Amino acid sequence: MAFVKVCVSLAAMALLIGCGGEAKPENWSEKYRKVQSKYTNMSETQQLKALQKDWQYIHFMKHPSKKVQLAALAINPQAIADIDKPCHEAQMMAVEKLIDGESYSMTLARLLDKFDEEAQIAAVSKAPEIIKYIPYPSPNVQLAAIRKNPWVARSINNLTSKAKAEALQLQPKLKEFLH
């Protein structure tokens, strides 16, 4: 997660420099606040136009509307990392776009524990191994992942008895790994 924040901060600094800002440490935070205020106080239409120029401007928009969030994700699904509290629809769009087969984006994996249960279930239903990035998955998320691949039960911290029983029923060889 820290790596994502560093990359986002570097991208933000690059955008600030591109906006006429200076990268001097003593005034960087003030310039950042001004740029953030500028993009946050824009109308939704202006924010959408800004995103068409560069999707990374979503980083400066505090509490963007659902329409603005979805527009940024349509341009680049990695933008989910720059949205502080993505709406349910944005979470679902990120899951849809950032999981291809059973491979998934690490950006999504790092953020998944903050997503709502429905988005987590959608994610583990597509790529069950991603459950290892959810520190304490709900019982429903556990069952969805196990039904897709019972072997993931080995990487669930708070495995419920129901999920364990389901995993053992689907894959009896797991008995030696699950206590």
Count of domains observed in the chain: 2
Same domain, 5 and 59: yes
Q: Which amino acid is present at 113?
A: D
115 shares its domain with 98: yes
Residue 160: domain span: 87-179
State in Å, rounded, how far the first CA of the chain is from the last one: 31
Which of 85, 110, 131 is the endpoint of a domain?
85
Domain boundary, last residue among 85, 105, 125? 85
Q: Exposure pattern of 77-113 as b/e (b: 16+ CB <10 Å)?
A: bbbbbbbeebbeebbbbbbebbbeeeebbebbbbbbe
| pLDDT values of the chain reduced to their tens digit, one per residue, 179 residues | 444 444 555 555 555 555 555 555 567 888 888 888 898 899 999 999 999 999 999 999 999 999 999 999 999 999 999 999 999 999 999 999 999 887 899 999 999 999 999 999 999 999 999 999 999 999 999 999 999 999 999 999 999 999 999 999 999 999 998 87
In a shared domain, residues 51 and 98: no
Q: Which of 65, 85, 105 is the last residue of a domain?
A: 85
Residue 92 sits in the same domain as residue 177: yes
